[in-house]
């Protein structure tokens, strides 16, 4: 299982290169409050002093530290020697010491025990750990500034040594409560959010560091660990500064887990004091003093505490944790490879021949547009009707139901019909229902079919415009790559539809006008109803009363006119002069159109007209319901289908426009690069994981 930690280190390097945190790798997260001894614990594990020190927040960026055990005859040693030799060969400052180094390297007598490499400095080898500390400080100031603020971007450091055990640690900023100096006011929340982000990784092991000279019940590190690791299965506690406890007290109850139980255990260590650091006390000497102190103060548990035991425990826990996480990690990597491959394909390749690419996009769009109308597209919508299906719905559902809802006599009262009949007879009383009244009334009803017909054209026009958004995933992705081309295609389609709309509306208006131009009472479907009218008229004999014109013609009699009667009463005009009198209104007032009870004859006439209007209106409505969709298909839909590609080529395929139309948006190019880098990293990660044999895991 020793091979598992280097595998995770390789995966860490791969994903740190692309700055991705989508893969949650197994690693040890070190957290604790300021001055709790985190840095001392990490330096003791490494065996070297290399971390920045000072007052306030010193660790202001996460430090991903990979410890790699490297024997002298290993490949890493040989590689480091070659790089270091190359670095010194390229040195520009010549002095006796440099020349001596060159002679040593040229003889191949280099003998490295330990060295470090940063991810951001590529293959540069650091043999001086003081230079490593300076590089950490310089890189921290570069990203986080010099005002004691923090930055979430990690620094990746790999330390090779013949004395370390394989580990992957992440050192986080210390937990603080009150901003000091130039620190931002929300420094506590910033640090807390950063820590939660790392320890929330279910594949991580939490190393909670607490000083022994503080109350364990108030430990912020253990409290935050419990927030994300409620069952405690991945939390290990470290108690530092055992030698600084008050006289007469000890940490035996704490280390045995009787104060706060921790499933993975509690390990006590002794740090170097500040005076030891000032006096440059080596860590090897500090480890000897730590062992002596533990043997003297805690003899019964000395073998289960101390820095060497902590290193072995962390190594064992991390290996077992990696073994448990590796199968799921492999599945996750394979799934993400598939996802990013699809994402990269959606962004397309870089355009080399723009004229050819432009013609291909135009052809694909025109084909996809027509396929959407015809219903032959490969990617069919399942959430809503679109294209030809929606046009069909407009024709036979929306338009059809609207026409069916128009009653033949809507807006037409019996008084309107009676008035039309009277107006059509003129000054002569009519024996029969005048045909003119029927024509006037039926035309009035036929005109009501024009507005729904024009609305049908409008709905189809809107759907033809919407089809641009349903032209297949591949076409949409290419159009998103080139926003200017997308807009120009939309403009061409809009203009083509706009030019066809007047002709289509005019044709639909003409269809209604044709019906109004000639009321065909000889229509085969109407002839039967018209034949019934004569039978209805024959039944009017019984409805004629004495006051009817027909009755007066049968019994003619002289009836003096009112004027002649008036003359006789006042003498003849020749013999008597009329005396002036008050004018007399001899005609009754025109009756107003108010509701009244109609006579039987009037009822009969209205029934005849209503029946004729209904019959003829149904005929015309049926014709309009059939002819309007045909007109829309011919003048609008089919015309656009047949001429779309030629219109796009005419307006877009020009040599001077291809360059500008196929300029990608900046975010698409950036996303393609990020997706390509991530895919390469995932493929490399897949290869690394696949190299692990089943026997390595046990």
Q: Give me the sheet containing 155-161, strands edge to edge.
A: 114-118, 155-161, 63-69, 167-171, 28-32, 205-211, 235-240, 266-268
H/E element, 209: strand 205-211
Residue carrying the six token digits 């509690």 = 266
**What residues contact residue 525 under an 8 Å CB cut-off, 6+ apart?**
615, 619
DSSP, collapsed to helix, strand or coil, labels residue 118 as strand
Q: Give CA separation, 182 vs 52, 62, 142, 194, 293, in Å.
A: 18, 20, 16, 19, 40
H or E segment and range at residue 646: helix 638-652
Distance, CA of 571 to chain centre: 104
- HEC string of 442-493 equals HHHHHHHHHHHHHHHHHHHHHHHHHHHHHCCHHHHHHHHHCHHHHHHHHHHH
SS3 per-residue string spanning 370-414 = HHHHHCCCCCCCCCCCCCHHHHHHHHHHHHHHHHHCCCCCCCCCH
118 phi and psi angles, rounded to 5 deg: -95, 150
Give me the pLDDT at residue 399, please: 93
pLDDT reported for residue 667: 74
CA-CA distance, 609 to 433, in Å (whole number)? 8
E strand or H helix at 29:
strand 28-32
Strands 63-69 and 167-171, how do they pair? antiparallel
Helices 600-632 and 414-425: crossing angle in degrees, nearest 10, is 100
Planar angle of CA 434, 438, 441, nearest 5 degrees? 135
Q: What six digits make up the tokens of 64?
A: 């991903």
Pairing of strands 28-32, 63-69: unpaired
User: In which element (H, E) is residue 31 found?
Assistant: strand 28-32
Per-residue HEC secondary structure of 245-258 comes to CCCCCCCHHHHCCC
Using an 8 Å Cβ cutoff, are 442 and 613 in contact? yes
The residues pairing with 64 across neighbouring beta strands, listed in sequence order, are 156, 170
Contact indicator for 326, 689 with CB cutoff of 8 Å: yes
In angstroms, how far is the first alpha carbon of the chain from the final one? 6
pLDDT of 271: 87
Question: In sequence order, what are the beta bridge partners of 233?
Answer: none
Question: Going by C-beta distance under 8 Å and a sequence separation of 6 or more, which residues neighbour residue 216?
Answer: 210, 222, 239, 254, 259, 260
User: Strand 167-171 vs strand 266-268: parallel, antiparallel, or unpaired?
Assistant: unpaired
Question: Residue 497: which of 376, 638, 661 has the closest Cα?
Answer: 638
Q: Where are the alpha helices (DSSP H) in 280-306?
A: 283-297
Using 50 as the pLDDT threshold, list the residues of the chain that sit under it. Answer: 92-110, 535-588, 590, 695, 698
H or E stretch at 238: strand 235-240
User: Angle of helix 435-446 relative to helix 483-517, nearest 10 degrees?
Assistant: 170
Per-residue confidence (pLDDT) for residue 569, from 0 to 100: 36
Residue 340 phi/psi, 5° resolution? -75, -25
Q: β-strand 266-268 against 235-240: which pairing, if any?
A: parallel
CA distance 648 to 652: 6
475 and 368 in contact (C-beta within 8 Å)? yes
Taking alpha carbons only, the member of 496, 453, 404 closest to residue 630 is 453
């Amino acid at each position: 299982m020793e091979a598992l930690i280097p595998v995770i280190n390789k995966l860490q390097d791969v994903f740190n290169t692309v700055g991705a945190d989508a893969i949650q790798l197994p690693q040890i997260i070190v957290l604790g409050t300021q001055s709790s001894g985190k840095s001392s614990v990490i330096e003791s594990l490494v065996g070297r002093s290399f971390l920045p020190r000072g007052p306030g927040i010193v660790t202001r960026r996460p430090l991903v530290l990979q410890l790699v055990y490297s024997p002298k005859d290993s490949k890493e040693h040989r590689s480091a020697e070659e790089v270091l030799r190359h670095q010194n060969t390229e040195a520009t400052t010549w002095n006796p010491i440099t020349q001596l180094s060159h002679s040593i390297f040229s003889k191949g007598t280099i003998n490295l025990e330990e060295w470090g490499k940063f991810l951001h400095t590529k293959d540069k080898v650091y043999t001086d750990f003081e230079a490593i500390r300076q590089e950490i400080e310089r890189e921290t100031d570069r990203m986080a500034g010099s005002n004691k603020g923090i930055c979430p971007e990690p620094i990746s450091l790999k330390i090779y040594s013949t004395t370390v055990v394989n580990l992957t640690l992440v050192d986080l900023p210390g937990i603080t409560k009150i901003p000091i100096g130039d620190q931002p006011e929300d420094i506590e929340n910033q640090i807390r959010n950063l820590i939660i982000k790392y320890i929330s990784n279910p594949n991580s092991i939490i190393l909670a560091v607490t000083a022994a000279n503080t109350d364990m019940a108030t430990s912020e590190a253990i409290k935050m660990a419990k927030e994300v690791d409620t069952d405690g299965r991945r939390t290990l506690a470290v108690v530092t500064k055992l030698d600084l406890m008050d006289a007469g007290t000890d940490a035996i109850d704490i280390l045995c887990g009787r104060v706060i139980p921790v499933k993975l255990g509690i390990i006590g260590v002794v740090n170097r004091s500040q005076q030891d650091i000032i006096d440059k006390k080596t860590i090897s000497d500090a480890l000897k003093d730590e062992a002596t102190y533990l043997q003297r103060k805690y003899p019964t548990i000395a073998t289960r505490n101390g820095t060497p035991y902590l290193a072995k425990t962390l190594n064992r826990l991390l290996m077992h944790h990696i073994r448990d996480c590796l199968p799921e990690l492999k599945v996750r990597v394979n799934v993400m490879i598939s996802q990013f491959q699809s994402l990269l394909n959606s962004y397309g390749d870089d355009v080399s021949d723009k004229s050819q690419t432009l013609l291909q996009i135009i052809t694909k769009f025109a084909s996809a547009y027509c396929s959407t109308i015809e219903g032959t597209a490969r990617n069919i919508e399942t959430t809503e009707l679109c294209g030809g299906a929606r046009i069909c719905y407009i024709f036979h559902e929306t338009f059809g139901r609207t026409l069916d809802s128009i009653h033949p006599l809507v807006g037409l009262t019996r008084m309107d019909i009676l008035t039309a009949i009277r107006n059509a007879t003129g000054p002569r009383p009519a024996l029969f229902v005048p045909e003119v009244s029927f024509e006037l009334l039926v035309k009035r009803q036929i005109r009501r079919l024009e507005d729904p017909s024009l609305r049908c054209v409008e709905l189809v026009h809107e759907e033809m415009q919407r089809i641009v958004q349903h032209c297949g995933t591949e076409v949409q992705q290419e159009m998103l790559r080139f926003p200017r081309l997308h807009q120009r295609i939309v403009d061409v389609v809009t203009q083509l539809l706009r030019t066809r709309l007047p002709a289509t509306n005019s044709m639909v208006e003409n269809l209604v006008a044709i019906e109004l131009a000639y009321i065909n009472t000889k229509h085969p479907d109407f002839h039967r109803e018209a034949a019934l009218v004569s039978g209805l008229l024959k039944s009017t004999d019984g409805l004629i009363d004495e006051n009817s014109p027909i009755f007066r013609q049968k019994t003619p009699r002289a009836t003096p006119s009112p004027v002649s009667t008036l003359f006789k009463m006042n003498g003849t005009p020749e013999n008597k002069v009329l005396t002036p009198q008050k004018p007399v209104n001899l005609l009754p007032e025109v009756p107003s159109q108010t509701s009244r009870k109609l006579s039987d004859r009037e009822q009969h006439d209205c029934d005849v007209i209503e029946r004729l209007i209904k019959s003829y209106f149904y005929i015309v409505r049926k014709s309009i319901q059939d002819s309007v969709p045909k007109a829309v298909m011919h003048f609008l839909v089919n015309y656009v289908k047949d001429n779309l590609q030629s219109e796009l080529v005419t307006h877009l395929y020009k040599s001077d426009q291809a360059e500008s139309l196929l300029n990608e948006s900046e975010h698409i190019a950036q996303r393609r690069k990020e997706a390509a880098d991530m895919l390469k990293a995932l493929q490399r990660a897949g290869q690394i994981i696949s190299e692990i044999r089943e026997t390595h895991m046990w």
